[in-house]
Amino acid sequence: MTRMDHIALDEQARAILRGNDRGGYTVPTAGLYPYQWNWDSAFAAWGFATFDVDRAWTEIETLLSGQWEDGMVPHILFHQDDPGYFPGPGVWGTGRTPATSGISQPPVAATLARRIYETDPETGRARLRAVFPKLLAWHRWWRAHRCPTGVAAITHPWESGRDNCPDWDPGMKNVDGSNVGDYTRRDTGHVDPSMRPGKEDYDRYLAILQFGRECGWDQEVIVRDGPFLMADPAMTFILLRAHRDLAALARELGESDAELMGWAADLEAALPSIWNEDLSCYDARDLRTGEFAGVLGSGAFLAWYARVENPEMERRLMAVWNRVRFGIPSSDPAAPSFAPRRYWRGPTWPVVNSLIAMGFSGMGRDAEAERLRRETVELIEAGGFYEYFDPMDGTACGGRDFSWTAAIWLAWASPSAGRD
Ligand code: DGY
């Protein structure tokens, strides 16, 4: 790639973020995802921070404006109605202003707020001071409502952000989706249906949603009696790192870090409960039945991001990576469920690659971090700022002009990015 090429891509990436800006918040992509999504927004903020740090803080502030009284930051904020998306605010029925969904999403915000703060501490200090208590309340919510056995669990596959990963198959097969009634999907009108989750998946997603709505989004009831509850290694690694990053921000503000460091230590101590001996890796586990998913993918690769290492795990994961040509696959090509273009059942996500690379470089694994960056650059250079890619042949898939792909380009993948 010549210097001119990457400068043109930098400009395109900034234009995508500006184009997806709906005034204080960014949609992931027009059409397919027309609202503010939780972790998408945190990545968008990281991207904005490379050229407009004020706008970056605004993105985080708008995201936190949807916070519930119990501390939960929902996975979608429906700032304005859009009939092009299903299931919209009326289906979730959470009765909030702004209207929101009733589940959360991976808490990358503290980790990325730390990055944003470090780009310009002087401007960021007052903004950080204002958002810190909200981030802390959200982390406290994770601890109180999503760590029933010690590690982080999800109550809906959408909560993981990795919707239809084979990781959730053990829990999903026990969800009865036969009584959800008629509905019309909108996602398949925006992108090729063969790249999206199937009808049976959607029936079950809706059944889990309906359970939440019927119990008035009582998180205690959802965790205790809901149709789906799985321990998620990726969420655990993301939360573990987020606790530590928020603790670092607490110190920066002269606040105590003790509570956060305690939560981080507890998460770490609970990790053996999701160690799958047969895989020699951390693995998703159904908390209703104890069953492991038994399939590796990008979630397990986030171990390094949380500073968790193990030689046997490393050997297994590197073998998975070496089975594909581009990036870390969301699921192992050796698994029977592997589908290289169907949403989270195989493809590689530039945004997840950016987190995994952050993990590699934080552990001094510069060669792996650089390999992952190079492979991600090749994908974006050839295919554009798509949502995700086929890890075997590099075909661009899903939504186009995607905010988080543009954001991680600016903050991490581009040769002009300020990497750590
Ligand atoms: C969707 O609608 O596909 C989303 O991923 C749910 O968050």
Q: How far is the CA of 370 from the centre of ligand 1 (A)?
A: 30
163 is catalytic: yes
The conformation of residue 168, written as its DSSP 8-state character, comes to: G
Which residues, judged by CB distance below 6 Å to any ligand atom, belong to the binding site of ligand 1? 75, 158, 163, 187
For 145, residues 6+ apart whose C-beta sits below 8 A from its C-beta are 70, 72, 219, 220, 223
Q: Comparing C-alpha atoms, which of 10, 7, 108 is closest to residue 51? A: 10
CA distance 199 to 197: 7
**Best mutation site among 91, 163, 343, 402 for ligand 1 pocket (most ligand atoms within 8 Å of CB):** 163
The residue from 252, 286, 387, 401 that is catalytic is 387
Q: What is the pLDDT of residue 44?
A: 98
Query: Could you give the C-alpha distances from 207 to 82, 106, 200, 204, in angstroms and in order?
Result: 22, 22, 11, 5
Q: Rounded to the nearest whole angstrom, what is the distance from the C-alpha of residue 47 to the centroid of ligand 1?
A: 22
**CB contact at 8 A, 249 and 111:** no
Tell which one of 35, 158, 159 to mutate to probe ligand 1, the residue whose CB is within 8 A of the most ligand atoms: 158
Chain segment 195-222, per-residue pLDDT in tens: 999 999 999 999 999 999 999 999 999 9
At 301, which helix (H) or strand (E)? helix 298-301
> Residues with Cβ < 8 Å from 278, sequence gap 6 or more?
292, 294
Q: Which pairing describes strands 285-286 and 388-389: parallel, antiparallel, or unpaired?
A: unpaired
Report yes or no: 305 and 237 within 8 Å, Cβ to Cβ.
Answer: yes
* Contact indicator for 386, 400 with CB cutoff of 8 Å: yes
Structure tokens that stand for 222 in this block: 């959802």
Pairwise CA distance, residues 79 & 74, whole Å: 12
Per-residue pLDDT, 419: 67
* pLDDT of 420: 55
Structure tokens at 370: 């650089």
Please tell me what DSSP assigns to residue 410: I
165-197 core/surface letters (b: 16 or more CB in 10 A; e: else):
bbbbbbbbeebebeebeeeeebbbebbeeebbb
pLDDT, block means (10 residues), the chain with 420 residues? 86 98 98 97 98 98 98 97 96 97 98 97 97 98 98 98 98 98 97 96 98 98 98 98 98 98 98 97 98 97 97 97 98 97 98 98 98 98 97 98 98 87
Catalytic residue among 82, 163, 291, 378: 163
Active site residue 370: no
In the reported structure, the alpha carbon of residue 158 is separated from the centroid of ligand 1 by a whole-number distance in angstroms of 6
258 CA from centroid of ligand 1 (Å): 35
| Atom number, ligand 1, closest to the C-alpha of residue 196 | 3
